[in-house]
Amino acid sequence: MNQVQKLLIIGFVWPEPNSSAAGGRMMQLISLFKAQGFSITFASPAQDSDFMVDLVENGVDKKSIELNNSSFDVFIKELNPDVVMFDRFMMEEQFGWRVAENCPNALRLLDTEDLHCLRLARQNAFKEKRSFNTTDLFDEEVAKREIASILRCDLSLMISEFEMELLESVFKIDKSLLFYLPILLEPIDNIEIEKLLCFDERKDFVFIGNFLHEPNWNAVQYLKDTIWPLIKKRLPEAVLNVYGAYPSQKVLQLHNKKEGFLIMGRAIDAQEVVQEALVVLAPLRFGAGIKGKLLEAMQCGTPSVTTTIGSESMFGDLPWNGFITDDLATFADRAVQLYQDKTIWLKAQQNGFEIINQRYSKGLFESDFRKKIEFLSSNLKQHRLNNFMGSMLQHHTLKSTKYMSRWIEEKNK
């Protein structure tokens, strides 16, 4: 009888699928591993939150762990996982050396979410009012940390093809260390489509996004100051509902009923509010990864207007479910067009269904992912021999990080 394989996920935070796309993504990964028959433990040094998912209810063991504490060594030795997945590079930095030391034969995966160094380099370029160039990445301290983390791991899961190409061309990361696994969705069939509200049953514009994420906060300011006044001038009765978890006081102060700019805070049911809207607005000016809010719009049959950054790596050579533009006046024009023209709206909606079914359907990736994990688990020694840079970084990190962590632990006593 085959022994049940064990997966340990080391989470940056406890998953909150209703607060962010990252939380939803984590639950999808858990579901993929459960389908492969893994027994799963989710450990995190984060504080519990009011909106975290009930992991135990989802068949996952929950374990609180501490940073810079050798109690983790005892825990992981006892658990002895076959696979360890780090949720973002910060967790690999903190716990990777302990995993390598205590469970050297465990397959080490990194779920990147998005490339943090790309997001930050773009954000800095935007703030400095200049064009982003890939050479900017070399100036980011985060890039050095993030790339080192990718090299130390056996496989990094990537949600964006653009970012995979960037890692291969700019940072010369070997293809064998990267695996494309976007956000995974159930395909949309005619029965699902018929359940959605039609054009005449919907109203208003909507923006949705977690406010702890800087690109979202910037997009809302851009809407408020620049784009929304242009739309409102053409559509005096129009309303923009702005939803998002963790709004700060600065966000709440943007609420203005007279201007039809309404800050609604956290959505109890994100899909419901997106499905009731006519158009999603997402004028993102920097960022990385693929945008959960825009996939959600497609699932809900709601066309969107977004930017080049917003739509990056999301639609391949298929037509977008609405419009993509970086020009301010065109953005407002296209939003009005979708809001008023049922024919254009229906075509855009159909485009969204095509994108989901051809690029994000779970069935397109499940089997390849399972085979990749099985192959690496069976050929781990050779795979690591082929990744000398990773072994070298692992060796030096283990020495430096280990002693720094031990020093912090002693200091804390």
| Annotated domain spans of the chain | 6-184+363-412, 190-360
Q: pLDDT band at 132, cuts 50/70/90?
A: very high
Percent of the chain residues topping a pLDDT of 70: 99
Q: How confident is the model at residue 1 (pLDDT cuts 50, 70, 90)?
A: very low
Secondary structure of residue 297 in the 3-state scheme? helix
pLDDT at residue 374, rounded to an integer = 96
Q: Is 62 exposed, middle or buried (0-12, 13-18, 19+ CB in 10 A)?
A: middle
Q: Which CATH number does the domain 190-360 belong to among 3.40.1160.10, 3.40.50.2000, 3.30.300.30, 3.40.50.280?
A: 3.40.50.2000
Q: What is the mean pLDDT of residues 161-183?
A: 96
Residue 338 burial (10 A CB sphere; 0-12, 13-18, 19+): buried
pLDDT mean across residues, the chain: 94
Is the pLDDT assigned to residue 377 strictly greater than 80?
yes
6-184+363-412 and 190-360 share one fold: yes
pLDDT digits (tens, 9 = 90+) for 251-281: 999 999 999 999 999 999 999 999 999 999 9
- Structure-block tokens of residue 368: 């390849």
| pLDDT tops 80 at residue 400 | no
pLDDT at 2 over 80: no
Cβ atoms within 10 Å, residue 33: 21
SS3 403: helix
pLDDT at 105: 97
- The pLDDT of 208-229, averaged and rounded, is 96
Q: What is the mean pLDDT of residues 189-208?
A: 96
> 6-184+363-412: what CATH class?
alpha beta
Return the percentage of the chain with pLDDT > 90, whole number. 89
Instruction: Give the N- to C-terminal CA distance of the chain in Å, as an integer.
Output: 46
Let me know if 312 is exposed, middle or buried by CB neighbors in 10 A (0-12, 13-18, 19+): buried
Is 277 within 8 Å of 203 (Cβ atoms)? yes
Mean pLDDT (whole number) for 87-96: 95
Per-residue pLDDT at 408:
83
Measuring CA to CA, which residue among 309, 317, 312, 301 is closest to residue 352? 301
Starting from the edge strand earliest in sequence, which strands make up the sheet with 279-282, in order? 261-265, 240-243, 205-208, 279-282, 304-306, 322-324
Residue 136 predicted with pLDDT over 70: yes
Mean per-residue pLDDT for 167-178?
96
Q: Is the pLDDT of residue 300 over 90?
A: yes
Q: Quick count: other Cβ atoms within 10 Å of Cβ 105?
A: 10
Entry field: residues in the chain: 413
**Which distant-in-sequence residues (6+ apart) come within 8 Å of 363 by Cβ?**
187
Q: 33, 40 in Cβ contact below 8 A? A: yes
